[in-house]
């Protein structure tokens, strides 16, 4: 069976920085997993096995200033997380601030990871790109593999 996260889930983050992870994806995440800064103003959650694959790819990057800076950004925010008894994770203040998480959040499945977005940022992302998605698909999938 092929493993893949997908779907869109609406939740809220509480005043203590706790966010409920959708029950449908908890088993696929495993007992512990990695939370880190993502791209485009969201957070990424990787199961440990997927995280190991990401790190192996990053180890292959050249030792350039650009690669070092990206690694600093990506890894400095990373931490191992576990769900509490209610299926929640605790998101640190720096990560909340980075992703603009204040109350309403959207968790989306994106193949090998979950992304946590502020509701406003995700809706803006969709609105700004809605008309481009068809062209993106044409461009990305027109290449013969």
Sorted by where each starts, the structural domains of the chain and their CATH numbers stand as 8-119 (3.40.1550.20)
This model's pTM is above 0.75 = yes
- In tens, the pLDDT along 41-90 reads 999 999 999 999 999 998 999 999 999 999 999 999 999 999 999 999 99
DSSP codes joined into one string, 124-138: HHHHHHGGGHHHHHH
pLDDT per residue as tens digits for the range 98-143: 999 999 999 999 999 999 999 999 999 999 888 877 777 777 777 6
| pLDDT at position 3 over 90 | no
The backbone torsions φ and ψ at residue 138, rounded to the nearest 5 degrees and listed phi first, read -60, -45
* Burial group, residue 39, by CB count within 10 angstroms (0-12, 13-18, 19+): exposed
Own/partner contacts of 91-94, CB < 8 Å, gap of 24 or more, are: 91/13, 91/17, 91/18, 91/19, 91/35, 91/43, 91/116, 92/17, 93/17
- Residue 134 CA to residue 109 CA, distance in Å, equals 20
Q: What pLDDT band is residue 97 in, cutting at 50, 70 and 90?
A: very high
Give mean pLDDT, residues 10-19: 96
């Amino acid at each position: 069976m092929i493993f893949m996260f997908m779907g869109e889930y609406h939740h809220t983050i509480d005043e203590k920085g706790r966010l409920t992870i959708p029950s449908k994806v908890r088993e696929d995440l495993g007992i512990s997993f990695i939370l880190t800064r993502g791209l485009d103003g969201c957070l990424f959650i990787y199961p440990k096995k997927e995280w190991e694959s990401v790190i192996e790819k990053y180890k292959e990057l050249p030792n350039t200033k650009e690669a070092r800076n990206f690694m600093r950004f990506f890894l400095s925010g990373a931490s191992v997380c576990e769900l509490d008894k209610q299926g929640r994770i605790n998101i640190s203040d720096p990560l909340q601030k980075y992703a603009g998480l204040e109350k309403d959040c959207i968790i989306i499945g994106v193949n090998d990871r979950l992304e946590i977005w502020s509701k406003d940022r995700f809706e803006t992302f969709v609105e700004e790109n809605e008309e481009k998605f068809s062209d993106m698909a044409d461009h990305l999938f027109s290449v013969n593999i």
